[in-house]
């Protein structure tokens, strides 16, 4: 999440909205957002309804909810998804930015 915060301007320049979804309770999630002054959107998903909607996995042996990244175009069409197998299995920002750029060509 902090990488998204650091690279927020790069996404904003590409007219891309970031939405981060986390497993925490609403008050804890809001406190985190306020503490770090995150500029993008955040949605707490304590009930795991969004997790289930997108079939995101939970692995209690690897710290819980596995990371997932998705790119959805302005028409609501899912163009890319990556479901991580560990907390370190997250695409680099440059890879996501390249994908966003290629979506503009579609």
pLDDT tens profile 16-49: 999 988 888 899 989 999 999 999 999 998 888 8
Q: What are phi and psi of 88, to 5 degrees?
A: -90, -10
- For residue 77, what is the DSSP state? -
CATH number of 2-103: 3.40.30.10
pTM to 2 decimals?
0.79
| Domain residue ranges of the chain, discontinuous segments joined by + | 2-103
- Distance (Å, rounded) from C-alpha 5 to C-alpha 3? 5
Joined together, the tokens standing for residue 100 give 């966003």
Q: Which of 62, 69, 70 is nearest to 87 (CA)?
A: 62
| DSSP summary character for residue 63 | T
Q: Which of 25, 18, 16, 24 is nearest to 1 (CA)?
A: 18
């Amino acid at each position: 999440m902090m990488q998204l915060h650091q690279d927020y301007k790069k996404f904003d320049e590409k007219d891309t909205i970031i939405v981060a979804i986390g497993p925490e309770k609403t008050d804890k999630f809001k406190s985190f957002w306020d503490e770090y002054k995150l500029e993008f959107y955040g949605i707490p998903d304590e009930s795991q309804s969004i997790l289930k909607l997108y079939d995101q996995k939970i692995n209690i042996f690897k710290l819980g909810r596995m990371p997932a990244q998705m790119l959805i175009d302005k028409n609501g069409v899912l163009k890319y998804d990556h479901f991580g197998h560990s907390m370190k299995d997250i695409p680099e920002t440059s890879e996501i930015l390249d994908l966003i750029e290629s979506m503009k060509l579609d």
